[in-house]
Amino acid sequence: MTDSIYLDYAATTPLRSEAREAMLPYFGERFGNPSATYSLAAEARDAIDTARETVATLLGTTPNEITFTSGGTESLNAAIKGVAFAQQLARVGDHILTSSTEHHAVLHSCQYLEKFGFETSLLPVGRDGLVEPEEAAKALRKDTVLVSVMTANNETGVIQPIAEIAAAVRERARSLGRQIIVHTDAVQGANALRLNVDELGVDLLSLSSHKFGGPRGAGVLYVRRGAPFLPQQSGGGQERQRRAGTENVAAIVGTAHAFQLAQQERTAYAERCRALQERLIAGIAAAMPEAQINGHRERRLPNNVNVSFPDADARVMLRLLDEAGIAASAGSACNEETLEPSHVLLAMDVSLNYAVGTLRFTVSTSTEESEIDRLLDVLPDIVEQAKSATGVAAG
């Protein structure tokens, strides 16, 4: 068995050693509950305050607009439902606009809200996976209360023009004489993209710690001051009364450390990953010209290669890759149990025989060129075996 090769960094990343070291005291001697009043609690509370200030500075906002959560899913659920229910209570409207390629945490939150009288419209994307800002503006209605478009897609790595979308929404909202809130799922963007909320023009932004070298079970939700928001978790008054529950101090500290390092290193990260990405794409094109790279070729995260092989079974390819010691994904790590094609690829008009044969390879700065070459050595044969498994062998 060869040494294991990990090429699924979009699914999760290892905890950075710097974040781990920063977290350790809060598992032991600094175990106080930050809501208490004695000095042991004050240590924990100070650590959270420092972490909040760090995250706020990186996002270009103020600490009282930062809420720590249990992860990306909660951050997305809280953003979508929190704004929607607040606007419904205020009788402002009940229409939500999002894109057809969003993460299921967003799409399922919208579907959940439909049980309470909300209506969701899905913005189409082009074959490159991009939402057109003008289309977003045209789709707004007098009862629209929220627009949610992701910063970068978790499957294809396509980077949306969020600033342009937000600007188009604001302009159209002014003509309608109303405020329309803009949220973005930035979960995949922290390693490579500058995430300044004013530059992006968003009112809410969601992050997940384990995507950028922080701990699992931790996330961030930015809520602009004055944005309507109804807390979705009841209890004590933690997190500025936006998210009840005793804070996970260690995870919050680790999140802030990892996020700071990710943002400081994003230029070097992008350069290193882009070179690996281009090496992989060129190798696939040379060995398997029938393969199709999905998503815009320039407006994409530098570490993502989403590639489809016609008439192949992604499940078979993943199994064979695993046997070869290579970890990859069939797209979103949340949906690989069946051969059901990705909703993202179908929205991009990828044909079914290509969609079911799609793999996602995501690299990091720790990935070696030799690991890319090892993948390219074994991939052509694996693809052919996967085609044979479907009864559509080449030739």
List residues with catalytic annotation.
Answer: 334
Distance CA 255, CA 251 (A): 6
Query: 10 Å Cβ neighbour count for 294?
Result: 29
Distance CA 123, CA 1 (A): 46
Q: Of 176, 180, 162, nearest to 95 (Cα)? A: 180
Distance CA 262, CA 308 (A): 30
Q: Kindly give, in sequence order, each residue whose CB lies less than 8 Å from that of residue 318, ignoring residues fewer than 6 positions away.
A: 328, 329, 330, 336, 359
Q: Are the beta carbons of 72 and 207 closer than 8 angstroms?
A: yes
